[in-house]
Amino acid sequence: MTGFTPDLLNRCIACGFCLPACPTYALTKDETSSPRGRIDLMRALDEGTLPADDPRVREEASFCLGCRACETVCPAGVQYGDLLEEWRDQQWQGSGRPLVARLLMILVDARWRVRLLGLLRRHARTRGGRPEGPSLMLGCFERALFPKVSRAARRLFPELAAPAAQGCCGALHAHNGDSARGRRMAEELGRRLPGTIVTTSGGCAAHLSSVLGRDRVKELSRYAYERDMPGGAEPSRPAAETPPGGVPAETADRPRVALQDSCHLRNGLDVWREPRAMLERIGTYVELPSAGTCCGAAGTYALVRPRDSRRVLDAKLDEIEAAGVDYVAVVNPGCYRQLDQGLRRRKSRVRAVHLAELLAGERPRRREP
């Protein structure tokens, strides 16, 4: 008896339609590193035909990016993301969990430590305790790595409260084998920020929504959309004249901008038109052929499996450079770090920038090659 929900596992009829969507299958062409193959491994665990300590089973639980691209293409409605959480809950106990993930989880587990993370980084913050209206989630890594993103978000939407003592949403735990703790952390954050929670991280948005419900949680581009178009108009509508947060509609120079989707935002919440529509307002939008596929950041993946992470990233960097863009916009801090580092390594002139920064009018200079 293992911890898989039978209904989730039985859904897959092994049609293989998910194979072409999977980045690790594209790298290896090996069924065992495909979504269908991984579900088979889970089944074997469930049926007891493979032991929990089978080395390949362990390897695949870790090699999977968790990007959930397999989920959106699955006609049978298999919820792979949930299955993966259940799988890692079993495999990544104690010493089974990658060391980096363990350290990070300890780091963000207490509110004071999260606060400490951002203390010296001048991220956005407002005073007071429990805010009444909508508030900005600061994120645990974003506040440390990219404090400028929350500052930009506050400039765009001054109505957002940003108390520093809000903690971590628990996505890190949920994706690294402790989904129960991940849920509790999301619930706690929900109590501390009782109104609408706006986040600049697609990954956090998906996890928080799965616990608190979609109405409570808005990723930034979605929030901008709804604020701009009351009544929740669908973003396929042509861009309105007045951009959100009073950004000048016509800047003299309209940059060429591409987007890297956040996997969980796109595959988990179906939010992908919104950031594109926003970018069209400030520049010429260029769709990368692989905009919707994982950049290899994948939460802790880039730290746990740097070599595979780079293999996934490399093809994308080629594409970005070939696209002739000024910026590649991101909507998730993990993608930000991944693309920023990748582009720097290559000495590319293209800059990675968060959507919030671009909307707030920032135009970082192109790097000299």
Partner 1 sequence: MPAKTTATGEPLDAATLRELRAIVGAEHVRHADGDVTPYARDATPLFRARPGAVVHPASTEEVAAVLRLAGARGVPVVPRGAGSNLCSATVPLQGGIVLVLTRLDRILEISAEELLAVCQPGVTSAALADAAAAHGLLYAPDPGSRSVATIGGTVATCAGGLRGLKYGVTRNYVLGLEAVLGTGEVIRTGGRLWKDVAGYDLTRLLTGSEGTLGVITEVTLALLPAPETAGNGLAYFPTLADAGRAVTRVIAAGIVPATLEFLDARCVDAVEQHARLGLRRDAGALLIFGDDGEPAAVAQRLDRMAELCRDTGAIEVSVAGHAAESEALLAARRCTLPALSRLGSITILEDVGVPRPRIAEMVGHIEDIAQRHDVTIATFGHAGDGNLHPTCVIDKGDDAAGERAHDAFGEIFRTAMRLGGTITGEHGVGAAKLPYLTERLGAAQIDLQRRIKAAFDPAGILNPGKAGS
Residues making contact with ligand SF4 (CB under 6 A)? 12-18, 21-24, 35-36, 38-39, 64-70, 74, 76, 78, 80
Nearest residue to 175 via CA among 97, 265, 277? 97
**Given 29, 191, 307, 347, the residue binding partner 1 (CB under 8 A):** 29
Q: How far is the CB of 205 from partner 1 (least distance, A)?
A: 22
69 binds partner 1 (CB under 8 A): no
Q: Which stretch binds partner 1 (CB under 8 A): 15-23, 194-202, 260-268, 334-342?
A: 15-23
Q: Which is nearer to ligand SF4, 40 or 319 (CB)?
A: 40
Nearest to 66 by CA among 259, 309, 289, 337: 309
Separation between Cα atoms, residue 90 and residue 299, nearest integer Å: 19
Give the whole-angstrom CA distance, residue 242 versus residue 275.
16
Query: Which residue's CB is nearer to partner 1, number 29 or number 365?
Result: 29
Query: Which of 3, 5, 48, 49 lies at the binding interface for partner 1 (CB under 8 A)?
Result: 49
Q: How many residues bind partner 1 (CB under 8 A)?
A: 32
Stretch that binds partner 1, among 30-38, 137-145, 204-212, 306-314 (CB under 8 A): 30-38
CB 118 within 8 A of CB 164: yes
Smallest distance from the beta carbon of 26 to ligand SF4, in angstroms? 9
**Which DSSP category does 161 fall into?**
B
For residue 207, the minimal CB distance to partner 1 (Å) is: 25
Please state, in angstroms and rounded to a whole number, the distance separating the CA atoms of residues 140 and 118: 8
Verify binding: residue 83, partner 1, rule CB under 8 A.
Answer: no
Using the minimum distance from each CB to ligand SF4, give the nearer residue, 30 or 318: 30
Q: For ligand SF4, give the closer residue by CB, 78 or 198.
A: 78
Q: Which residue from 232, 266, 243, 262 is spatially nearest to 359, judged by alpha carbons? A: 243
The answer to whether the beta carbons of residues 353 and 328 sit under 8 Å apart is yes
Rounded-to-integer distance, Cα 66 and Cα 297, Å: 10
Q: Is 56 in the site for partner 1 (CB under 8 A)?
A: yes
Residue 183 contacts residue 211 (beta carbons within 8 Å): yes
Q: Does 30 bind partner 1 (CB under 8 A)?
A: yes
Question: Among residues 19 and 164, whose Cβ is nearest to ligand SF4?
Answer: 19
Q: Is 41 in the site for partner 1 (CB under 8 A)?
A: yes
Task: Check if the beta carbon of residue 206 is closer than 8 Å to that of residue 143.
Answer: no
- Residue of 3, 5, 13, 251 interacting with partner 1 (CB under 8 A): 13
Per the CB < 8 A criterion, the answer to whether 321 and 350 are in contact is yes
Taking Cα atoms as reference points, which of 21, 32, 10 lies closest to residue 266?
21
Strand partners, 233: none
Binding residues for partner 1, per CB under 8 A?
A: 10-11, 13-17, 19-20, 29-32, 34, 36-38, 40-41, 44, 49-50, 54-57, 59-60, 74-77
